[in-house]
Amino acid sequence: MVIQNKSRQLNLDDMPATDIKDISLAKQGVKRIDWAWQEMPVLRQLAERFSKQRPLNGVRIGACLHVTTETANLVRTLTAGGARVTLCASNPLSTQDDVAAALVQAYGDPVFAVSGEDDQRYYRHINAVIDSRPQITLDDGADLVSELHKNRREMLAHVEGGTEETTTGVIRLRAMAAECALEYPIIAVNDAMTKHLFDNRYGTGQSTLDGVIRATNILLAGKTFTVAGYGWCGRGIAHRAQGHGAIVIVTEVDPLRALEAAMDGFRVMPLTEAAACSDFIVTATGDKLVIHRAHLEIMKDGCILANSGHFNVEIDIPALESLAVEKHHPRPSVDEYRLADGRRIRLLAEGRLVNLAAAEGHPATVMDMSFANQALSVAHLWTQRGNLDKRVHPVPQDIDSEVAQHKLAAMGIAIDTLTEEQTLYLASWREGT
Ligand SMILES: NC(=O)c1ccc[n+]([C@@H]2O[C@H](COP(=O)([O-])OP(=O)(O)OC[C@H]3O[C@@H](n4cnc5c(N)ncnc54)[C@H](O)[C@@H]3O)[C@@H](O)[C@H]2O)c1
């Protein structure tokens, strides 16, 4: 079958049963997956429960997620519940090839993901997942849902529901629902408190710094570090950069978030000012062309640019390419552009998610909660199939609370409980001064 995708023709006939880089990496992948498993107590507990109750017996799941050790453990949990999971990457640069090999060889899951794959192969892999006739989709950025709705509509009939992992995906899906274009219900896992409060803030915060440091090995202390966007991810990145001793600037378009950043102790200014004095600029907005030509023209020599937002559209890379007279590749994950006036601008990880492309993504400790939400939401979608509207739904409150309770218990933290008198007091208006 040949389909037209983003002005490309994809021939889907010659796709093998799996497509990964190197099966001999499986042993190393298994070790790393087990290492992450130790940090995922909530998911481990769920896997044990799922293996007894088999809530997903025979369910075909199509997943488009970053192929990392943590995702492998989500796949293990879903298969423990009886599901058959077919997996592809949600970003061309984020695949850990040893994990893909381990999933295929040690766990028997069909995987279509190769780190560094080009756009053509990326979409062929998404189509291979669609070919598995998924009844539930798991997405991170909504490329799978979008491909199903745009090019593979004949497969929509199989799908009962889906989940979405990230802010950008939720925004795209809400836009689809608003146009009545969404053909099945989706649960916005990103919006669970036990997801974005921890994963976006602490996970992206730590792993973005990890990616920037691994790629450059440049000391942050004393440097000027600008964060574009003070949402959940931006807050985490800004605080962690401050913790490294950097002078942190925040740029925003939302007055409330800008005010919060100012009161959190950061300098706030437009990017046109920040660009001239920054040693590092990291975007985390989910928006496009946040760093554009006018900023590139005034940046100081040696400025390092990175992105942690979902798509590689936050930095105007075509403008950077057109301004450059020379480009070279001094270190893995670093492209250095020399401009006509001699200034050098360094771009990390081709402007793709720096925490996944230049480091290992979020630590397992936070993915434990995000993926427990995923697994419980999938089970919820399956039991509720046919009963949910074709729109974006929140994660049910009891799932969010259950995940928080299990995480606290796993961390050995007990909390107080309301007395009966306090419960009544908090629900009444009669008592006052
Ligand atoms: N790197 C990762 O592993 C990872 C993890 C989670 C989320 N994400 C992605 O990161 C992005 C941000 O997610 P979030 O949860 O922080 O979203 P959010 O909505 O909480 O925050 C985004 C912020 O960016 C601001 N913004 C928008 N356009 C801007 C511009 N031109 N200049 C400055 N600020 C601007 C918004 O006002 C908002 O405050 C999304 O694309 C999301 O999918 C990445």
Please give the distance, rounded to the nearest whole angstrom, from the Cα atom of residue 154 to the centre of ligand 1. Answer: 33
CA of 172 to the centre of ligand 1 (A): 13
Q: Which residue has the tokens 């907005």?
A: 285
| CB-CB contact of 228 with 286 (8 Å) | no
Selection from 126, 68, 127 nearest residue 97 by Cα: 68
Distance between Cα 387 and ligand 1 center (Å): 32
233 alpha carbon to ligand 1 midpoint, in Å?
Answer: 6
What residue's CA is closest to ligand 1, atom 5? 200
Q: Whose CA is nearest to atom 17 of ligand 1?
A: 231
Question: Could you tell me the distance, in angstroms and rounded to a whole number, from the CA of residue 4 to the centre of ligand 1?
Answer: 31
Give the distance (Å) from ligand 1 centre to CA of residue 200: 9
Counting atoms of ligand 1 from 1, which one is nearest the CA of 354? 1
Could you identify the atom of ligand 1 that is nearest to the CA of residue 233? Answer: 16
Distance 412 CA to ligand 1 centre (A): 32
Query: What was the pLDDT predicted at 433?
Result: 86
> What is the number of the ligand 1 atom nearest to the C-alpha of 235?
16
Phi first, then psi, for residue 177 (nearest 5°) are -65, -40
Our mutation pick for probing the ligand 1 site, out of 252, 285, 289, 311, counting the most ligand atoms within 8 A of Cβ, is 285
Residue 235 Cα to ligand 1 middle (Å): 10
CA of 431 to the centre of ligand 1 (A): 42
Ligand 1 centroid – CA 353 distance (Å): 12
Tell which atom from ligand 1 comes closest to the C-alpha of 257: 39
- Cα–Cα distance for residue pair 221/142, rounded to 1 Å: 37
Rounded CA separation 232/228 (Å): 12
Count of residues making up the chain: 433
Q: CA 212, CA 305: separation in Å to the nearest integer?
A: 9
Mutate to test the pocket of ligand 1, among 233, 295, 360 (most ligand atoms within 8 A of CB): 233
- Protein residues with CB under 6 Å of any ligand 1 atom: 166-168, 196, 200, 204, 228-234, 251-254, 257, 284-287, 290, 308-310, 353, 355-356
Alpha helices in 191-231 (DSSP H): 193-195, 204-216
Ligand 1 centroid to Cα of residue 309, in Å, is 6
What pLDDT, in 10s, does the model give residues 318-341? 999 999 999 999 999 999 999 999
Predicted pLDDT of residue 22: 97
| Alpha-carbon torsion (73, 77, 82, 83), positive or negative | negative
| Gap between the Cα atoms of 308 and 281, Å rounded | 11
CA distances from 365 to 47, 89, 368 (A): 16, 21, 5
pTM of the model: 0.92
Q: Are 240 and 209 in contact (CB under 8 A)?
A: yes
Where does residue 311 rank: exposed (0-12), middle (13-18), buried (19+ CB within 10 A)? middle
Sign, CA torsion 113/116/119/120: negative
Q: What is the DSSP string of 51-70?
A: HHH-TTTT-EEEEE---SHH
Q: Which residues of the chain have pLDDT under 70?
A: 1-15
Query: The tokens of 303 are what?
Result: 């400025």
Closest CA to ligand 1's atom 38: 231
For a mutational test of ligand 1's pocket, the pick from 195, 310, 314, i.e. the residue with the most ligand atoms closer than 8 A to its C-beta, is 310
Residue nearest to atom 32 of ligand 1 (CA): 252
